[in-house]
Amino acid sequence: MDPHHLRLLRELGDRGSVAAVARALHITPSAVSQQLNTLQRSARVPLTERSGRRLVLTAAGRALAAAAVEVMTALDRAERAVGGYLDDPSAPVTVCAFHSAALTWFPALARRHGHVRCADEDVAQADFPSLVGDYDLVVAHRLAQHPPWPTDRVAVVPLIHEPIYVAMAADSPLAAKPRLTAVDVAAQPWISTHEGFPVGGVLTAIAAAAGRPLDIVHRINEFTVVASMVAAGAGLALLPAHTSPPDPRLSLRPLDDLPIGRYIDVLTRPETLHRAAVRTVLDTLRTLSHPTDSP
């Protein structure tokens, strides 16, 4: 039974006529009658009857109208509960992020918001949208040349566009060069991510630009481990410009002939943004990702 139809039945019992109900609810008498007829079709016994020219409730109708009061009360209580949940600035908010973003922003996020629950998720780019079913906010990344996020399934809030640089040991001969090209780096051993992860696809572009395959000797997703391997001379790697911790053992250089970057965005379900607590945490993520914009 439609709660709106139940309300009409209750109003008819309280106000005594279809015309009075129509005036009170600012609809036409015919609309009231049509909706009461719809309610009648879902009942096994008559709910209304004619008393002279007036439509009145039967005994069954009066019983249902009394029950409608309880239904309206419960719905009002439910709406108030939902409203309180949506407006509560301290309600728990779950956030997940890939490793380098988590390392960069999670400590400050947890420090500012005691109600935030953080988790790291190391997944392939195509798997980020599905995480919105498990978390309120999903910090995701994709390469500029990759397909955009499926906006028919998720809401997308852009954070930053982050350059990706070639990382080498600080004492590498390449570090002495002020400018690097794909040809300069193609002959070196490489450390890459696993297949399907955003940064890994860039190496294919470097190989194509240099006209030769790359020698990928290690596959490691965790950038802090990658940084240590590069510092030890195990190979070159691609590291993000903003979310990589500063490391004096490394030198980072852009490729002049092949600019590389990734988009870091927040993915969420559209209805999740109705929550005040979620919007507050999202605002903090925006601030953290643009520290130079802060006063």
62-74: per-residue pLDDT in tens?
898 888 888 877 7
**For residue 132, which of 285, 273, 268 has the smallest C-alpha distance?**
268
- pLDDT at position 239: 93
80-89, 190-199, 215-224, 240-249: segment of lowest average pLDDT: 80-89
Residue 217 pLDDT greater than 50, yes or no: yes
What is the average pLDDT value for the chain, to the nearest integer? 89
Q: Which CATH architecture has domain 3-87?
A: Orthogonal Bundle (1.10)
- Antiparallel, parallel or unpaired: β 116-120 and 215-219: unpaired
Q: Where are the domains of the chain?
A: 3-87, 93-293
The CATH number that domain 93-293 falls under is: 3.40.190.290
Residue 118 pLDDT greater than 70, yes or no: yes
Q: How far is CA 271 from CA 130, 131, 152, 275, in A?
A: 15, 15, 13, 8
- The answer to whether 3-87 and 93-293 have equal CATH topology is no
What average pLDDT does the segment 144-151 reach? 88
- pLDDT at position 293: 45
Q: What is the rounded (10 degree) CA torsion for 192, 195, 201, 202?
A: 0
Name the amino acid, one letter, at 28: T
Residue 111 pLDDT greater than 50, yes or no: yes
**Number of other residues whose CB lies within 10 A of the CB of residue 22:** 19
- pLDDT at position 292: 60
Separation between Cα atoms, residue 279 and residue 137, nearest integer Å: 10
